[in-house]
Amino acid sequence: MKEQTLSILKPDAVERNLIGKIIGRFEEENLKIVAMEQRWLSRREAEGFYAEHKARPFFGELCDFMSRSPVVIMVLEGDDAVAKNRKIMGATNPASADPGTIRKLFSKSVGENTVHGSDSPQSAAREISYFFQGTNIFCSAK
Ligand code: CMP
């Protein structure tokens, strides 16, 4: 089923010039980029985005990291986009990620794990609306 999911290329990806390589992987797997913006999150925006993790011990570190330098935020669309994106990304902790996944290839640690992807269609809807107005999301032609 055609779905949308939110993807963020985190500061460690943008700092190391990995935008093209990572977007290339999404496109190879038939995920369509239907919205994309590069922006520098404020700490407050990072805190709001990750509010569900507020009680976790790593919350402060996570928000510092996500507001350290610019990120690229995208809406990806395609068949089973949520699950497909998570498969392409690999496990949250790069040490446990499958070979060939983005996190196995590029991530230094669980904290600096290169990409974010929504974990369910419900999270995707909330996360997409956190960053994008509906009018700035384009429908893919096919
Ligand atoms: P993400 O998929 O963006 O969602 C929550 C983030 O919290 C996760 O990726 C990790 O970057 C981060 N995270 C999860 N566990 C830890 C941890 N033990 N230490 C630091 N950051 C973590």
Active site residue 116: yes
140 pLDDT band (50/70/90 cuts)? low
9 contact partners, CB below 8 Å, separation of at least 6: 18, 19, 22, 23, 71, 72, 73, 74, 114, 115
Query: For residues 20 and 129, what is the distance between their CA atoms, to the nearest angstrom?
Result: 25
pLDDT in tens, 31-77: 999 999 999 999 999 999 999 999 999 999 999 999 999 999 999 99
pLDDT band at 142 (very low <50, low <70, confident <90, very high): low
Tell me the pTM.
0.96
Ligand 1 touching residue 123 (CB < 6 A): no
User: What are the tokens at 40?
Assistant: 């520098």
Q: Is the beta carbon of 114 within 6 A of some atom in ligand 1?
A: no
Percent of the chain predicted with pLDDT > 70 = 98
Give the C-alpha separation, 73 to 34, whole Å: 11
Phi and psi dihedrals of 61, rounded to 5? Answer: -60, -40
Number of the ligand 1 atom closest to the C-alpha atom of 8: 3
Measured from the Cβ of residue 2, the count of other Cβ atoms closer than 10 Å reads 11
Q: Is the CB of 113 under 6 A from ligand 1?
A: yes
Per-residue model confidence (pLDDT) at position 137: 83
Ligand 1 center to 135 CA (angstroms):
30
Q: Please identify which of the residues 72, 114, 116, 131 carries the catalytic annotation.
A: 116
